[in-house]
Each structure stands twice: as C-alpha cells, then as structure tokens.
C-alpha cells in the first residue's frame, strides 16, 4: 500500500462533497491489488482517512471484529446523508 502522503493514495476527508462509496471502492481496489487480507484492509484503512475521524471508525463493530464487509456497510450507513453542519448523518 502506498504511503498516506503519496499523491496517488486514496484519502477520505469526510467532507460532504466526497462520497464514502467512492472512497471505499478506490481503497478496496488498491488493497486487492496489494493482496491485503480482509483483516488487513480493516487495519490499514484508517491510515487513509482524516485523523479526526479515526476514533469514530475504530469504535464500529466491523472495525473491532476485523470484518471488512461489515465495516463498509456501517460506514455507508454513517455517511448516507451528510450535511454541511457535520460529517455524519447521525
């Protein structure tokens, strides 16, 4: 996986103009090319997100159980309808 500082690395800022689905797809394609396991995908993804959101992502059950599909599902629910007042819909 590329360094998070690399210009080609995927990055999710959490801003309203960036869809979580697009980020997850880009990240997963890269992770698959690098042959990461499902567990490694979960452990590595927080390197590519805004640091202010890491603690939130790390509390999701998909992250805690190292379940990539569950984590993606939870993230899509969290970011389903972001508003300009905040990063999350909840």
Range of the domain at 30: 20-78
Residue 8 lies in a domain: no
Q: Is residue 36 part of a domain?
A: yes
Each residue's pLDDT tens digit, 71-85: 999 999 888 755 444
Domain assignment present for residue 1? The answer is: no
In a domain, 87, yes or no: no
* Residue 74 in domain: yes
Task: Judge whether residue 87 has pLDDT over 90.
Answer: no
Structural domain includes residue 7: no
Helices (H), the chain: 20-33, 38-45, 54-57, 61-64, 68-78
Residue 65 confidence (pLDDT) above 70: yes
Q: How far apart are CA 86 and CA 90, in angstroms?
A: 9
Number of domains composing the chain: 1
In a domain, 85, yes or no: no
pLDDT number for residue 27: 95
For residue range 18-59, what is the model confidence (pLDDT) as tens digits? Answer: 789 999 999 999 999 999 999 999 999 999 999 888 988 999
């Amino acid at each position: 996986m590329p360094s998070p500082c690399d210009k080609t690395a995927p990055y999710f800022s959490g801003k309203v103009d960036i869809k979580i689905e697009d980020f997850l797809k880009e990240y997963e394609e890269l992770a698959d090319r690098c042959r990461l396991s499902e567990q490694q995908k979960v452990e590595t993804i927080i390197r590519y997100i805004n640091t202010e959101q890491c603690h939130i992502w790390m509390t999701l059950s998909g992250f805690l159980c190292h379940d990539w599909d569950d984590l993606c599902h939870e993230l899509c629910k969290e970011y389903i309808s972001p508003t300009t007042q905040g990063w999350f819909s909840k």
